[in-house]
Structure formats: structure tokens, C-alpha cells
Chains A and B, each alone.
Chain A
């Protein structure tokens, strides 16, 4: 039932608003609203009960194993939430003077420094609000760099065919054309295809490493050299940074610009779709173009670096300084990990992924890249099951929900048929991983003996399989009172 359907005209949650209506209003009638907005009229208890019950219809990290590949659904430490929510931090106005903001600015400055170390880049800007905005900022810096060199012929960005959809979309938002590069049979980039694509029109290439197929791109130095020789720059999509934290750094691989998904690698919550945070790091040659504001330090005091100090900046991505509260959470998390904890993240994320891959292979599931080590994630393909029993990967994903596990990422990357991209993260116990494997084995039995059970899944959730086609055809995007 919608909150609107619990509404009764004249009902109020009175304690939350000012107790009286201000008597004086100097706004002339021609500016005034004629009819009150159709918001629900409900009590505080109704509101609390309604949204508490809705929350119970969600899967979440706090309640379920959530091995969603490429999304790094690790535990979100409560301490990070608690300390970022201290009243002084919550109450600080974004335009408060620097003199009264030294504590806050110190946290941001320290986070910039740590992210530089972790990524091997020369400078970091924390301001992009999510990964895709970080990608935009990164590609915009590549563009600004070529423009500063009067190199206007570079109008093309290369992306692997297995790239996240945000990569080509971000390149287009920066006014570039996009050209796809094929992935070879071992999961690494097809170097001949790359050579054929590079040229004086190449502005840069966007890569994820480990790649979106869950393996470390071994020829990365070769790719970097070829691209740089052709005059292009390398962009690192940080979606998979969790796999290599403290092991190998994008700066050392030859990347010129990178974004980091703090809501993945640095354990900040996903909030049912956001907020995220997508800081960007750059090599020396791109530093002048970083988005503002940055945090600078003079002797012992911190200050914002704005247009005056950064005249070549690509500009501002948001009204203030991005998702500041998320930056504080990431800072707190990184400080709790420390230098040794940071490496352990990659260690145990990789251990968990390889353990799951091995056990699933032993149980007869087919790995997409059986000769390769898994990174922090891996792909299995269910094409055999699909062919033999007319079952789709989506059916199996939906059935997994009945077993109390969130489904892995389905049908991505598109080049592997009927695939599941599985990322357990380092914060899951072996017992949780075993339960997932047992569920997969049980579902495979169901596929063979009671396929309808799988095709009709889920059975135990608040709703049965939803009609997506109808949702798109008969658009119903808001509640309206009955006529």
C-alpha cells in the first residue's frame, strides 16, 4: 500500500513543523500557489511504520550476502557513519569560512594524500559526486590537455568492448567519438586491434584493470606504451580498484588519470543507488586541469584552492565540494585500515573470489576464463544449462533470491553469453561463500529435475517475477488521485 493510500484529509504529524503559521507574508498573490501540493497527510507513526515495513522488503549488505560483480558490496563500517555524523560535521555550512573549518578540511586533505599514495598519482581532486562524474572529469581533463597543446585532431576515445556502459557515455558527454576495441580469447585486450585503432585521432583509452571480465590485464605496460606513443592518454576506471589495493598502482601501470569509487573500494554505503563519490587522480601533466575545489595546505592551515589558483581547471562538478559526508566516511575507513589493512583488502577479496571460482568449477560450473586467475571477481557462464534446459541466467539469478542471496551481476559483460559476474568481497566469511556454492548446486539440480521451479522464481519474496515489458509500455510513474 502506498503512503498516499493511508492519507486522510486534515491529518497531520504536527510536531515536525513550526506550531503556528507565520502571520506576516510579504509575497504578493501573483507569486503564490493556488492549491496545496498533493502530498500525503499522515501521522508520524504511520510514516515510521510504512517506511520501516518498506525497508524490510529490501535485500541489503546488512541482511544478505550481496555478491554483485563490479559493485564491491562490502560491509559498510558503522564507525564511519557515526563519526561522519558528528553534529559539527552535519551542521557545517559548505560556505563556512576556512578559519572555522580546519578540522573538516584536514580530513579532506589527508584523504587526498592517502588516495595519491594508493593510486600512485601526482594529485587528487575529491569533488566528483560518483564514478560516472569522475569519468566525465577524467575525460574532460584529457580533452583540456590536448586543447592546451593545440592538438585538435584528437577526437576519438577507445574503450574495450567489455567496458562499463558509463565509459562510452562519459566520452560522448565530453564531445568525443567512441571506438570499441575487441577483447582476446584469454580476456586480455587484443593488441593488434589496439594497434589498428591508434592514430593521430586518438585522444585516449579508457580501461579497467583488473578488467571487467575479472582478470588482470597482463599487457598493460604494452598498452600504455603504444597509446602514449600514438599521443593518447590512458584513463583508469577505478571500479575494480579493490582487487589491487596496495599491490599495484594505476600510476605505476602508466595511467594518466583515474577515478576511484569510494562507495565500492572505501566501504561507503550504496544507499539503494547512491550517493557515491568518485575522486579523480592525475599524473603530472594533467594536474593543472583537475576539477575544483581542491584542498591545499599552507604550513599548518588548510584552505580551498579555487579558480584563482587553478586557472586551467576544467571547472566545478557540483555547487559545493561534492559528497563531503561520503568523503569523511571514506577517510575514517582508510584510517582504520592503515597501511597494512589496505593491502589485506586486496589479499582477502582475491582469496574469496578464487576460492569460490575453484569450488564452483569443481562442482561442474563453467568458468568463462578457466586458464586465468580470478581477481576480486570472476565470471561463470551458464550457457550449457541454458541450452539443455531452456533456463536463462536471469531465472537462476531470481532463484538465488529464494535462497536468501542477492544475485550476482547478470548479462555483464555482454561478450560472455549467459554470464554471472560474481564478487564476494573480503568481508564475507568462508561459511557465507559455501552457502552460495551450495545454493548454486541445489539450483542446478532443480534446473535438471524441476525446471519450472526455477523459471517461475522467485517464490518467497514480497512479489513474484515482475512484468518489465508492461512497466515500459504502460507507463505508470506516479500516484494520482482517482478521478
Chain B
């Protein structure tokens, strides 16, 4: 019996102890009419070898294309030690550290995680992770509404330069609580959010302004101006940042005169594989004074009864298992193992290593962008400076071009024509530190060939596709 250790004899002895004749008798409190019988449509069980063969065949079917997509998930190198340590059973198979004395490994690690995340973002407080970047932003927005005592409006400004899926997730997660989400236009030349977009709201009651850095287009926002505008208008400034970019960009805690009040983002670039979108983790950091509005687990350093240092879950009165309907959030299980991954990843790379990664991604994307924009008909869309992604306009259907590139095992970028139809046939491309000169060269030459019509997919390239 897979994963069940009982021998026939033990089962009999246990039934005798209980005083029933068979296991079925233990289900005698379930009304018989409700019983379902054998679930015939579930397949017969497979051995480990058989399921391994099936999974290997399915994996092989998908292959491993060269990835130039970013859009919220980035193909970084993960040091070998990261998962070898995080995958140890003592981390991998432990539960939430409710029994602190038996969970000092996880607890100390998460305290180190909080220390590293605050160092990277320039904030005072970090929680111990949320599900992902998009849901972390939803929690950040709710937190801002609770924390901003000067605002009664529940109005949130979200730039259209923010990841479109993040905007959708925020809408889905906070929409039932009466928040008003207002979208801000971006400057079509620079690709960033101008102060002029905020002009209509100056002097209005706004709970928070969300500021992505870099924004979804890879463009760097004028975060100092935006943060100052928020504070001048009694709104909280909520940053959405990439943790790798944080190693070379002004951290949210230092934006403008006073710094952002809250920042969040997706921790995937810190050691989580692409893995079809998860598990990643969301991080959420804030100023000291907002700590009691923070959702999720927080670990504190304390002492034991003999005065020795130890770590424990703290401020639990914010959480659902204590405060129930009055909790700051319903979150219980978070993404603890991914926070462990990020901690080990950051320890291995250090600030200098993360900077090198960030600079290499930036340089590779610059190189990619130049090579592709040199192709006839391909143009850079925005003039604003970028980090490690950029938007390019194509002279043909972006969807069809991506399909043609995929035939060459190239994932050429993220098509923007659905979310931003005003940009035309636009692609968001990314070249992380893993992309080699040869891969970038290959992308450029395949794209040139496809666009010149020499590739046999020419017939599919209808602009309206």
C-alpha cells in the first residue's frame, strides 16, 4: 500500500484494541446514503517508476526553449547550494513554527530573511512572506487604507504602467471591500507616469498612490517626485519593486523626502525557479509605525527563560487564528520555504553579487534592445531609461512573430497587444544575466529573417492576427 506502513497483523490488532471488526465500521457515523463507492474514473495507481516515466515524457514534450520573457518572472541563475539546503527535510517538511522551541531553525532563518529584506528595500519592517507579488500588492493596498488615518476615501491610484495582471489581482482581491481603484495614464513617449497624470487628484482625498519601480515596461519611474506628491497630498506611497533591481536602484525607503511608507513585490528573482509561475513569494515591508497593520507572520527575537537568545512568532494578535473576523488578513499558510530559498540566495550572493546580477541583466537587455531595434521596422517604443526589460514595436503581428520564434525554440517576449492595444504590435522583452551573446545574436538573426519574409511562416504574419 503506497505510503501506508501497516501490516495485516497490525491492522487486526489495532481493530481489536478499538473493538470493531473491520475498518469500515469506523465510518458508521456517516449516513449510508451519502457514501460514494469506488471512484471508477480515477486511474489505477502507478509505481514511482511509472509516474516518473510519464512525467519525464511530458517534460520532454515541453522542451526547454531559450527565454526572453520577463513580465514578472525572471530566468536567473540559482546557486546550486540554494535548493540543496532549502530542500533538506528539516526545512522542506516542517510546519508553520507554532512550537517555537522545536522550530528555531525556521524561525531564525525567517528573522534573517526579515533583516535582509529590510536592508534591500531600506524599510524598517518585513513580514515573513505572502503568496506572490500581485497578492502582496492587494494586501499592501488594504494595509494602506487601514493605516492612512488622514484619508476617509478608500481611493487608490494605480498607474497603468503597473503590471496589468497585478491590477487585475488587486481588483479581484480588494473589490468586495468598497475600495475605489483609479488608473493613471502613462506618458506615451517616455513610458513613465508623469506628475501631470496626478494633477487632477491634487488636493483630493486619496488613501494611497502605488509606484512601480521599474514599471511593467521596464522603464524607471521618477519615484522621488511621485513619492513627494503622495505625501504632499496626505496619501501613502506604496512601492512595487523587483528585489534584484533594488540592489542597484534607490531603495523605496529612500524615495523622495520621506521614503515610501509600504513596499511590496515578488521575491521570485531571489532563487525561485520559473516553474510555471509558482511557488514564488510575495514580500511586504513597511515603516515602524505601520507594523500593527501588517498582515501575515512576523518573527521576533526574544530570550528564553535562561536569558539565551531565541526566536518566535510575534504580534499574533493581528492574525486570523487569534483575531478571527477582526484580523489584518485571512492569510495563514504563506510561502515559508520560498523565503528560506531567498535568504540562502541573498547570503550567497551578498549585495555585491546581486548588483553584478542586476548590472548584467541591464547590460544584456541593452544589447538585445540595440540588436533588435537595428532590424528594419523594429523600434524601441519608450524613451525612458530601463532596467532589464524594454518594449519594442514590430512591423507585423506580435502574436504571429512570437509563434514563429517559438518554432525555433525561442520565447521572444510578452505580447502587449491585448493589454495595451494603443501600443500596436508591441513586445516586452527581457535578457537576464543567463542569456549569452550567442543567444541574443540568434534571437536577432531569427527575428530579422522572420520579418524579412524569408522564414516559411511569412504567410501567417497578418497584422490583424
Contact = CB atoms under 8 A, between A and B. Distances in A.
Contacts of B414: 95
A316 B337 CA distance: 23
B257 interface: no
A390 interface: no
A462 B101 contact: yes
A169 interface: yes
Contact of A168 (B173, B325, B411): B325
Nearest to B75: A93
Question: Which 4 residue pairs are nearest across A and B when measured between Cβ atoms?
Answer: A338-B45, A320-B277, A271-B337, A62-B89
Interface in B1-35: 1-6, 10-11, 13-15, 17-19, 23, 26-31, 34-35
A42 B348 CA distance: 7
Contacts of B176: 140, 143, 173-175
A92 B99 CA distance: 37
Contacts of A330: none
A37, A118, A172, A352: which has the most chain B beta carbons within 10 Å? Answer: A37
Given A57-B105, A246-B38, A348-B6, A4 B18 contact: no
B346 interface: yes
Given A320-B277, A322-B277, A428-B5, A347 B23 contact: yes
A216 B30 contact: yes
Interface in B128-166: 128-129, 131-135, 163, 165-166
Contacts of B71: 95
Nearest to B330: A169
B141 to A, nearest CB: 12
Interface in A44-64: 44, 47-48, 50-52, 54-64
A273 B340 CA distance: 10
Interface stretch (B115-123, B194-202, B456-464): B115-123
Contacts of B310: 462-463, 466
Interface residues of B, number: 202
Contact of B276 (A33, A104, A165, A412): A104
B18 A355 contact: yes
Contacts of A32: 248-250
A281 to B, nearest CB: 14
A273 B96 contact: yes
A43 B31 CA distance: 62
B72 interface: yes
A316 B168 contact: yes
A373 B26 contact: yes
Nearest to A350: B26
B6 A273 contact: no
Contacts of B114: 477-478
A388 interface: no
A244 B99 contact: no
A464 interface: yes
B274 A93 contact: yes
Interface in B79-123: 79, 81, 84-106, 108-112, 114-116, 118-120
Interface string A124-154: 0000011111011000100100000000000
B89 to A, nearest CB: 3
Contact of A71 (B5, B95, B346, B385): B95
A143 B173 CA distance: 13
Nearest to B32: A248
Nearest to B119: A38
Contact of A275 (B73, B319, B337): B337
A427 B93 CA distance: 14
A480 B171 CA distance: 37
A315, A319, A342, A398: which has the most chain B beta carbons within 10 Å? Answer: A319
Contact of B112 (A2, A131, A355): A2
Interface string A246-289: 11110011000000000100010111111110000000000000
A441 to B, nearest CB: 15
Contacts of B58: 102-104, 106-107
A182 interface: no
B34 A131 contact: no
A27 B220 contact: yes
Interface string B329-353: 1111111111110011011111111
B95 A273 contact: yes
Contact of B62 (A101, A143, A343): A101
A47 B43 contact: no
Nearest to A215: B29
A21 B36 contact: no
Contacts of B14: 351-352, 355, 430
